[in-house]
Amino acid sequence: MTIRIQEIAEHQVKYFEEQALDQIETLAKRLEEKAQELRKKKEDIAEGDDIGELRISQEERISWAVNDVENLLRNLNISQLVTTTYKLGKAKIELKNIEKNGEEQES
């Protein structure tokens, strides 16, 4: 019985480790995409003050770029990674307790 519980606990640890790594990769991809967008905006801003007939200033375009970054940071859903990290830590503690109890029962 203890071996089965230990296997489940090990599976949980592995699952949360994989989840955390996947979430980090997703964050990295989103940041890379936004970096490319920002570089493009920088080039566009450097080319001149107006977009077609709209006559939008460089300051306004820079402000829009800053706003894009702020929105990205708000929408990265870092809280999900924090929650997964918490669950991973909890699962590791539970696994250690199961392993410790199994060793005590064997002796």
User: DSSP secondary structure string, the chain?
Assistant: -HHHHHHHHHHHHHHHHHHHHHHHHHHHHHHHHHHHHHHHHHHHHHH-S--TTS---HHHHHHHHHHHHHHHHHHS-HHHHHHHHHHHHHHHHHHHHHHHHHHHHH-
Residues 38-66, mean pLDDT to the nearest whole number:
79
What does the domain layout of the chain look like in residue ranges? 2-106
Model confidence at 73: pLDDT above 60? yes
Confidence of residue 35 (pLDDT cuts 50, 70, 90): very high
Bigger pLDDT: 12 or 44? 12
Instruction: Give pLDDT tens digits for 19-32.
Output: 999 999 999 999 99
Confidence of residue 84 (pLDDT cuts 50, 70, 90): very high
Looking up tokens 């829009």 gives 64
The percent of residues in the chain predicted with pLDDT above 70, rounded, is: 88
Counting every residue written for the chain, the total comes to 107
